[in-house]
Chains A and B, each alone.
Chain A
Amino acid sequence: MAILEIHNVTKQFGGLLALDDVSFEVEEGEIRGLIGPNGAGKSTMFKNIAGFYQPTKGSIVYQGKNIEGKKPHTIAEMGIVRTFQETTLFQEMTVFENALVGAHIRSRSSVFSAVLGLDRARQQAASDKVLEVLDFMGLIDRRDQLASELPLGSQRALALAIALVSEPKVMLLDEPFAGMNPEETNHMMDLTRKVRESGITIVLVEHDMKAVMGLCHYLTVLNFGQLLAEGTPEEIRNNDRVIEAYLGGGG
Chain B
Amino acid sequence: MNSGNGFPVRNLALAAIALVALLITPHFLSFHHQDLLIFLTINVLAVCSYRLVTLTGEWSLIHAVMMGVGAYTVALSVNHFELAIWFTLPLAGCAAGLVAALLCFPLLRMTQFYFLIGSFAAGEAIRLTWVEFVGVFGGTSGLRGVEAPLVWGIDFIDPIPYFYFTLCIVSFCLLILYRIEHSRIGLTLHAIHWKTPLAESVGVDAWRYRALAFILGSFFVGIAGGLKVHYLGSVTPNQFTVGFMVFILIWVIVGGYNKFYGPIIGVVVLTIFDEAIRSFEVIRPAIYGGMLILSILFLPLGLESIPAKLKARFGKDSAPRKSPVAGE
Contact = CB atoms under 8 A, between A and B. Distances in A.
B64 interface: no
B232 interface: no
B198 A89 contact: yes
Contact of A115 (B183, B191, B212): B183
Interface string B282-310: 00000000000000000000000000000
18 contacts: A77-B203, A81-B202, A82-B201, A90-B195, A93-B187, A93-B194, A94-B3, A101-B204, A104-B184, A104-B199, A108-B188, A109-B183, A109-B184, A109-B185, A111-B212, A114-B184, A115-B176, A117-B179
A152 interface: no
Of B190, B194, B216, the most chain A CB neighbours within 10 A belong to: B194
Given A92-B194, A101-B187, A115 B201 contact: no
A183 to B, nearest CB: 26
Given A101-B191, A123-B184, A72 B201 contact: yes
Nearest to B181: A114
A174 B213 CA distance: 31
A93 B206 CA distance: 18
Contacts, number: 97
Contacts of B203: 73, 76-77, 81, 104-105, 166
B2 to A, nearest CB: 9
Given A89-B198, A90-B190, A93-B194, A114 B185 contact: yes
A166 B203 CA distance: 8
A90 B197 CA distance: 11
Given A92-B194, A93-B1, A115-B179, A84 B201 contact: yes
A76 B1 contact: no
Contacts of B201: 50, 72, 76, 81-84, 163
Which 9 interchain pairs have the tightest Cβ spacing?
Answer: A114-B183, A76-B203, A105-B203, A72-B200, A101-B191, A166-B202, A73-B205, A115-B179, A102-B202
B180 interface: yes
Contact of B184 (A71, A82, A92, A107): A107
Interface string A49-75: 010100000000000000000011100
Interface of B: 1, 3, 176, 179-180, 183-185, 187-188, 190-191, 194-195, 197-206, 212, 216
Nearest to B191: A101
B3 A97 contact: yes
A75 to B, nearest CB: 9
A108 B184 contact: yes
Given A72-B201, A76-B203, A111-B185, 12 more contacts: A50-B201, A52-B197, A73-B205, A81-B201, A94-B3, A101-B199, A104-B203, A105-B202, A105-B203, A114-B185, A115-B176, A163-B201
Contacts of B180: 111, 114-115
Of B1, B176, B202, B206, the most chain A CB neighbours within 10 A belong to: B202
A224 interface: no
A96 interface: yes
B173 to A, nearest CB: 11
Nearest to A52: B197
Contacts of A77: 203
A144 to B, nearest CB: 10
Contact of B204 (A91, A92, A104): A104
Contacts of B206: 73
A73 B194 contact: no
A53 to B, nearest CB: 12
Given A73-B206, A101-B204, A88 B197 contact: yes
A102 B202 CA distance: 6
A89 B199 CA distance: 9
A101 B197 contact: no
A2 to B, nearest CB: 23
Contacts of A19: none
